[in-house]
Amino acid sequence: MFVQRNDRGEIIAISQQQTTDCQEAVAEHSEELHVFAQRYLIDTIPHEAQNQLQQSDSDLARVLEDVIDLLAVKGLIQFTDLPEAAQSKLLLRKHIRQHARNLNLIDDNEPDDSFLP
């Protein structure tokens, strides 16, 4: 990747090929390219689209939890087969959902999380 910098040394443009504006080569996996890409993407994605992506992430997380539940119920995996970090995150989400359900903050039609110990 090739970059163009401003007077403060910050990346302001990137190119896959060397151009008259982008002369400096930078490793594709460099932290500063990552920071630039995040800043650029956040600045260019409309606020509504950002909200939709966040909601989609939440929905997808719930789908993955349901898939894990289904696999465990069918005996294809055991909860303890998952890495400890995944187990902890799933248990935390289960606890939060149960607490919210007790406070009537979550739709009563949402399924129980039976696969978790």
Tens of pLDDT, residue by residue over 82-113, are 999 999 999 998 888 888 777 765 555 555 55
Confidence tier at 54 by pLDDT (50, 70, 90): confident
Amino acid, res. 83 = P
- Report how far apart, in Å, the C-alpha atoms of 70 and of each of 10, 112, 115 are: 48, 12, 8
Q: How far apart are CA 24 and CA 48, in angstroms?
A: 35
**Rounded mean pLDDT, 42-50:** 70
pLDDT tens-place string over residues 5-32: 999 998 888 888 999 999 999 998 888 8
- Asked if 88 and 94 touch (Cβ cutoff 8 Å), the reply is no
pLDDT at 25 (0 to 100) = 93
- Report how far apart, in Å, the C-alpha atoms of 54 and of each of 11, 47, 64, 86 are: 27, 11, 15, 20
Residue 42 pLDDT > 70: no
Beta-ladder partners of 2: 15, 25
Helix H or strand E segment including 95? helix 84-102
pLDDT at 39 (0 to 100) = 79
